[in-house]
Structures are given as C-alpha cells and as structure tokens.
Structure 1
Amino acid sequence: MGHDHSHDHGHDHGSGNKTRMLIAALLTGGFMIVEAAGGLLTGSLALLADAGHMLTDSVALALGWYAFHLAERRANERLTYGYDRIKTLVAYTNGLTVFVIALWIVYEAWERFSMPSPVLGGPMLLVGLAGLLVNIVAFFVLHGGSRDDLNMRGAILHVLGDLLGSVAAIAAAIIILVTGWYPIDPILSVLVAVLLFRSAWALIRDSGHVLLEGAPTSLDRDAIARDIETHVVGVRDIHHMHVWSLDGRRTMATLHASLESGMAAGEAIARIKARLADEHGIGHATVEPEYGDCADARNDHNNHSH
C-alpha cells in the first residue's frame, strides 16, 4: 500500500525511436507493394523474393513499433518493471526471423541456379534503384535513433538486409543487361544471405543474453564487488551479487553487504548505491545489509561472488 515505485526510467529515447520505427515500417511496406508488382511485370523471381523479404520486414518493423508503444506503459503490480523487456523479446524474434529468411534465400538461390529463367533486366534495374533509394532513406531514419536499444538494432538489421537485397538486384540486373548471364542473380543472393546470417546471430546472441538476465559484457561482477569492499567505508564483504540488464540499456543489481558493527545500515546502503551509479553505471540496486552471518548461508552455498 502506497508503494508506487514505478521505476519509470530510460524512456528518454523511446518516443523518438518509436516514430523512426513507424516511418521505416510505412516506407518498407509501401515499397513492398511496388516491388511485388515489378516482379510480376518483369518475370523477375529475384524481385518477387525481395518483395517477400520486405513484407516480412515491414511486419517486423510494425511489431517493433508496437513494442515501443507497449514499453511506454507504466509499471503495475503485476509487471513491476514495466514493459521494457518486450523490446528485447521482439529483437530476439527479429533475429530468428532474419535467420529463417536467410535460409530461404539460400534455398531459392539453389533452385534458381539449377534452373535459370529469363528476366527483363531493364525494368528490374529501375525497380532495384527505386528500392535502394527507399531503403537508404529508411536506414538513415532508423540510424539516427539509439544504437544501444536492441529493438532498434533489430529494425536496422531488417532494413540493412533489404538495402543489400536492392544492391544485389541492381548488380544482377546490370550484369544480365550486359552479358545475359542469369546465374549471377542467385550467386549475389547467397552473398546477401551470408551477411544476414552473421548479423542475425549477433542480434540473437545479445538479446538472448539479456533475456537470460546475464551480466552485461561491459561489467565484471566480481570486480564491482571488490571495488565496493575497497572504497565504501564500513563494508566488510559483498556477496550474493547479481547484475543484469532490463533492456540492453538499463542495468540493475542486487547484493548482500556484510557491514562492520556500528556502521549505520542506511548510510552504508546510500554509499553503495552512489558508488554503483557513479562508477559502474548501475542506476537501480537493491542492497541487503547484514551484520554477522549471512541469512541465506544455509540455503545457498553456490551463489557467492568470490
């Protein structure tokens, strides 16, 4: 009763990122229709495949926008940290979908390489150039947002995949116009797929680490514990320490602090929190002060930091 600690931090970039995501979703979805029509008119399977790619991406961008929308909701008694982690969940899902798209591109490339079909290179080139322009605009719209946000990284990854797809379509169209060699289309598609695999794996790894509540790679939990023991007066020992990130940007910690007898608990907690915030960028910490034996010592012998 009366504990309205909503933890409403970290939304300074949220509104701008949300608007950027919506613009990119509209650009991608709008041009997807144009590219699909171009693919049907030219007989280009490459353009149709890229239109399918852009359809998936526009849906992913729309989901990313909705994740930002949900993250703006205040924390409540059931979701005490709010909805921020939805952005990370969407980023993880985006990474998986890009991985599947890359597999599909490889499969399609193999099919096309086995049975090359004629393509109208001129119209294909025009549609490819228009797609490149749209994707460059969408990329720069997203690139102006926060690169620390995993949801934004996922969105940029999707648009980058579309941009590379447009470059490949343009290159293939030029080579087809000059030489008439149709297999260049699937060859360039595989190159794009390899780049997508690499980026998707990085996004899945980073967002998965956040979802598993792993310690941020930039922080050393044991070093932080030693730092507090060394620099905060009245602290004998730090143990049962956990460090994790809520959304890839906001870092949190819980810890037990064994205090010298006579050291005021409130004063020690304030100093520890100040040290964590000022030196290690941990803005939210829960500190359990102790005198003598640890209250959890009987229950957990494997969770000490050092």
Structure 2
Amino acid sequence: MHAHAETHLDQSIAGRFKFAIFLTAATLIAEVIGGLWTNSLALLSDAAHVFLDLFALLLSLGAIKLSSYPATDTRTFGWHRMEVFASFINGSTVFIIALVICYEAMGRIQHPEEVKSFPMMLIAAVGLAMNVFAAGALHSHSHDDLNVHSAFLHMIGDAAASVGVIAGGIVMYFTDWYLLDAIISVGIGFVIFWGSWRVVRDSLHILLEGVPRGLEVNRVAAAIREVDGVEEVHHLNIWTICSHINALSGHVVVPASYRGDHSGLLRKIEERLFELFHISHTTLQVESTSCTTDAGHPKQFRHRPRFSSHGHAHAHRHGHSCSGDHHHHDHHHDH
C-alpha cells in the first residue's frame, strides 16, 4: 500500500515537473528570440537565468526517473550519481555564460545601445506569467518534497528577475535611459554567479564524498551512542549519494558482556538515523570491546600497490575484524 502511494506521488510530482518544464522552456525560447530582436541584454540575461532553472527542473525530473532504475553488478548504486555530474556540468556552463553577460554589459555601460523597450516589456511580462503558472503547478507539493520545494523557489526567483526587467523596460520607454539595460544585466549576472557557484560547490562537495551539508559527524555519533547497548562508535563515514540519499558506514562497539540481539540493535540505530538525520542507506559493523583496540583513533586505509595488476588481492580495509563481528546493511528508500 505504501509503495503504491509513493509511486502515485512520484507520478503526480513528475507530471507537474513536466508542465513546469514546458512553460519554462517556452519562456527561455521567447526571451532568447526577444532579447536578440529588441537588443536587450537584460532580457538575454534573464534567459540565462531561466536556462539555469530549466536545467534544475530537468535534473529534478531525472532524479525521479533514475530512482526507478535498478542497481546492477557494475553500478551497485544505480544511476543516482548521474544527477550530481549533470549538476556540476550545468553549474560550470552557466557560470561561464554569466561571465560573458557581465563582459558584454561592461561594454554597454561604456557605450549604451538603443533597446526596443516596449516589446521587451511585453516579452518579459509573458515570461513572468509563465513563471507564475509554473510556480503554481509546483506549489501544492512544495512542502512535501525537497526537490519540488527547490524548483518552486527557482520559479519565484525567475519571476522576480522578470519583474526587474519589466520595471527597467518601463523606465527606458519613458526616459530613453538605455544604460539601465546594462545595469540590470549586471545585476542578473551576479544572481546567476551566486546560483551557479552554489550548484558547482554543492555538486563538487558530493563528488568528493563530503559529509552532507547540515549534518555534523559528532552529532550523528552521539545519537548512535544514545541507543541502549552501544558503548562506542568509530570509523564513521557519512556521505551523499545524490540529492535525496544520504549514506553512512561505521563500527559500533558493544560491551563484552552484551547478550542482546545484534540485528535488533542495528535496526534501532538505523531507524534513529533515518528519523533524526534522514540517512537512508546504512552499513554497520558490530564489535565487542574485547576485540577493539583503537576505537576513536583516526582510520587508516590500506591501499593496493599503485602499479600492481592484481589490485583485487590488495583491497583496502576500513578497520579491524574479529570472529565476533557482525555486519548489517540496510536501505530506506524515501524518494
């Protein structure tokens, strides 16, 4: 029943994303053509901002689709990471576009060019209407899904940029102060810089296996120690697989006198991690105090020889092993 409801929710969200993508793509085309026709760099700058957000919408829709693809023997995490690679490429590309916009704007500040301000206003108004409709389509799910909430905020940002372009068009229509077009372009360019930098920064952080933003290793470790039966936790690794899957691995130490069920203990830890930190992919190993000699010390990785052709025989290991070790691997899928 839960799986059916989740599938229905994903289909509903995907449908709204497709509608928003259609409207945003139409806005992008209209603003690119309109910007070239009216000679408005501000309109072209807004189009670049729309392009960044269109790609974000496509990524969010792709994340929903990719989450349904099963893992394979060669891709044990499936295709989830493709979302992160695409984000990095998109952010880098749009950052370069913003550089071009600002460079062109600097030239226009020195030598302002005439802009067809009235059609520029009309096209920006059409873009504003499209953004409002797209935001409305996403709003009903924006409180239930982080991807939808992020996309909704993107649409609001696009709408705000369109309002700025319209206001600039009105001023230019009545005053012929065409320098304002370049000034608005610089403003939107800096907004794009900030947005694309955040995309590049966050995707690079994920690709480097960084701890998910907002999580602190010490807090997670403390939450694990609070579970009855846990004496210590070490060799803790926390990372992000993609935007909606956080993973954790670690060694849990129990007293030598512990006689409880290891599986039950690990299940309690997993549920606690999911409820408190939304960590949905956990791999935990139980150790007894009697076989743990370096709990709390920095982990040491053993690497295979760099030029060996038999790497499989020298795989690195994460910690100790003893006859009493117990491994547990669990997934919570919450797309």
Q: Normalised by the size of structure 1, how large is the TM-score?
A: 0.78
Among candidates 230, 237, 240, match of residue 242 of structure 1: 237
Among candidates 194, 197, 204, match of residue 201 of structure 1: 197
In structure 2, the partner of 1:258 is 253
What amino acid does structure 2 have at the position aligned with 1:167? V
In structure 2, the partner of 1:79 is 75
* Alignment partner of 1:276 is 2:273: yes
Contact 1:91 1:151 in 2 (8 A): no
Deviation at 1:48? 4.8
Partners in 1 of 2:83 and 2:203 — Cα distance? 9
Distance 1:266 1:177, change over 3 A: closer
In structure 2, the partner of 1:7 is none
Partners in 2 of 1:256 and 1:70 — Cα distance? 31
CA offsets per residue over residues 249-303 of structure 1, 9 Å max, x none?
3332111122222434334333433443344443332111123334998994488
CA offsets per residue over residues 99-118 of structure 1, 9 Å max, x none?
22322221121122222222
CA offsets per residue over residues 169-190 of structure 1, 9 Å max, x none?
2122111111111101101111
Distance 1:84 1:281, change over 3 A: same
For 2:104, what is the secondary structure of its paired residue? helix
In structure 2, the partner of 1:211 is 207
Partners in 2 of 1:272 and 1:243 — Cα distance? 14
Partners in 2 of 1:113 and 1:137 — Cα distance? 34
Contact 1:102 1:197 in 2 (8 A): yes
Distance 1:35 1:206, change over 3 A: closer
Q: Normalised by the size of structure 2, how large is the TM-score?
A: 0.72
Contact 1:176 1:182 in 2 (8 A): yes
In structure 1, the partner of 2:314 is none
* Alignment partner of 1:129 is 2:122: no
Deviation at 1:13? 5.8
Among candidates 85, 91, 114, match of residue 118 of structure 1: 114
Partners in 2 of 1:118 and 1:83 — Cα distance? 49
* Alignment partner of 1:293 is 2:291: yes
CA offsets per residue over residues 7-37 of structure 1, 9 Å max, x none?
xxx8786444433332222212223333344
Of residues 108-117 and 155-164 in structure 1, the stretch that sits farther from structure 2 once superposed is 155-164
How many residues of Structure 1 are paired with residues of Structure 2 in the alignment? 293
Partners in 1 of 2:78 and 2:268 — Cα distance? 27
What amino acid does structure 1 have at the position aligned with 2:191? L
Contact 1:216 1:244 in 2 (8 A): yes
In structure 1, the partner of 2:85 is 89
Distance 1:232 1:34, change over 3 A: same
Deviation at 1:91? 3.1
For 1:125, what is the secondary structure of its paired residue? helix
What amino acid does structure 2 have at the position aligned with 1:259? V
Partners in 1 of 2:54 and 2:223 — Cα distance? 46
Of residues 86-95 and 122-131 in structure 1, the stretch that sits farther from structure 2 once superposed is 86-95
Partners in 1 of 2:176 and 2:280 — Cα distance? 61
Contact 2:49 2:188 in 1 (8 A): no
Contact 1:122 1:177 in 2 (8 A): yes
Distance 1:130 1:78, change over 3 A: same
Of residues 187-196 and 241-250 in structure 1, the stretch that sits farther from structure 2 once superposed is 241-250
Distance 1:34 1:262, change over 3 A: same
Partners in 2 of 1:130 and 1:226 — Cα distance? 53
In structure 1, the partner of 2:170 is 174
What amino acid does structure 2 have at the position aligned with 1:244? W
Point out where structure 1 has 5 or more consecutive residues left out of the alignment: 1-9
